[in-house]
Amino acid sequence: MRNLHFEILRLSKFFGSLNLTTMVLQLLFLYFFALVGRFDRSDDSNILTHPNVILALATTGTMCALAIYGTVVACQVLVGNYVGTNKSQTYLLPVGRKSLFYTKLAAFSLVVASAMIVGLFIANLVFNILESLFQLMTEQPTGILDLLTSVFAGTFLTIAIILLSSFIGIKLNGKVKSMIASIVLVVLFSNLAAITMMSSKFITLIVAVVSMVIVILVGLTMGNGIENDEVL
């Protein structure tokens, strides 16, 4: 528990930038899609008059950007400890390899998740308040339940992409490989997230939870591999 607290404190310096980036991106995407739906009257943009669609597209856009940014951070604070010569130094620390790896994963996930949840919620809340004062959409803003579901689903999917990319980088012994993996996963997950969010937030949340379960299982396997790894 002490190690987890230490890791969270060490990573807390990234909270502000992740939180601010999340809020700014979410607000920009929300207003971008709302303005397109407001002023573009072609048949293709009719769906952008629906608040749920705007929220889904905005959250997906923020998720994609944060997944790549988060992977950059993960390469610094997580992947970098388990590739190249740094791996030997990490293994020499007076802490169990597996427990240290799990602690780093938990601390990183908690910092990113808290920054994203707070950022997304504040951005969506600000948009809804301003929308009630200066209406852009023809329909009422998204309800609180849909808003919260979108926040948690977007956060879980983002963390899933970041951690899976990190695992690939550690497995293949390269930070660049983590970045390439994150871009590929963003393309795959973004289409799935956008489609499910526009159809059903509940299905999106299920997909996000399943993704996190898969990530946890892969993480446990990675931890066992690190525990038994032999460094020449």
Model confidence pLDDT, tens digit, residues 120-169: 999 999 998 888 787 776 666 667 888 888 899 999 999 999 999 999 99
Whether residue 89 lies inside any domain: the answer is: yes
83 DSSP 8-state letter: S
Model confidence pLDDT, tens digit, residues 24-47: 999 999 999 888 877 766 655 466
Residue with the larger pLDDT of the pair 201 and 15: 15
Q: Is 230 left (phi over 0), alpha (psi -120 to 50) or beta?
A: beta
Number of domains within the chain? 1
pLDDT value of position 100 = 92
Domain residue limits at 54: 2-227
pLDDT value of position 186 = 94
Which residues, 6 or more positions from 137, have their beta carbon under 8 angstroms from its beta carbon? 34, 37, 38, 49, 50, 51, 54, 131
Predicted TM-score (pTM) of this structure: 0.91
